[in-house]
Amino acid sequence: MAKRGYGECATWNDLVVQRLNASPPNLVIVTMSRWIQNAYASDGSVTAEGNAMAAEMAKLPAASRLMMIQDIPEPQGHNVPDCLSWHLSDYRACAYSRSIAFGSDMGAREAIAVRATGAGLVDLTEAICPGTGDCPVVMNGMIMFRDGHHLTATFSASLGAVLDEMTVAVLLADRTSTPPPM
């Protein structure tokens, strides 16, 4: 990875914000990955990242409702397809620990941004890593991850009803209410 600011991303973000402000939608959905690599160490604290997210979200149209999808519990550094190919007779051997799944202060950045902006929060944690034990990599007969941090298209589609329910709750929520505690 280049140790420099990623100007291309900032340019793309600025263009998206311009288009959204030119024609404000009813809802803007925002998400990010907590596993980002910062070019500068001073940008890498949870607080700095959460505040940066809030600053970017503040550029979005005031007329639009904001919804942030919290980063998901993921098997960071755990190649799910490889593991499944090594454990053909028992996919449960590929489950990953909650300490890995929830690493790098999962949800902390989003909580800062949501508090600062009043955005609604969608948290799919329970749908992806239910209960209190290890997190699965196969659920309801579907492989959940195509690598160490991307959901498969099939599993993503299966989350539609849950995402729909949570989105409706965000849209119906009183925009002046305080976001629920994490």
Q: Is residue 182 part of a domain?
A: no
What's CA 35's distance to the chain center, in Å? 10
Q: What is the percent of the chain where pLDDT is above 70?
A: 87
pLDDT score of 104: 77
DSSP reduced 3-state for 111: helix
- pLDDT of 45-95, one tens digit each? 889 889 989 999 999 999 999 999 999 998 888 899 999 999 999 999 999
Domain of residue 87, CATH code: 3.40.50
Q: Is residue 180 part of a domain?
A: no
Tell me phi and psi for residue 41, to 5 degrees.
-55, -35
> What is the token pair recorded at 88?
């053909």
> What is the token pair recorded at 162?
């849950």
> What is the token pair recorded at 31?
């998400």
Q: Is residue 33 part of a domain?
A: yes
Domain range holding 18? Answer: 7-172
Q: Is residue 13 part of a domain?
A: yes
Total domains in the fold of the chain: 1
Q: Is residue 2 part of a domain?
A: no
Contact predicate 159/69, CB 8 Å: no
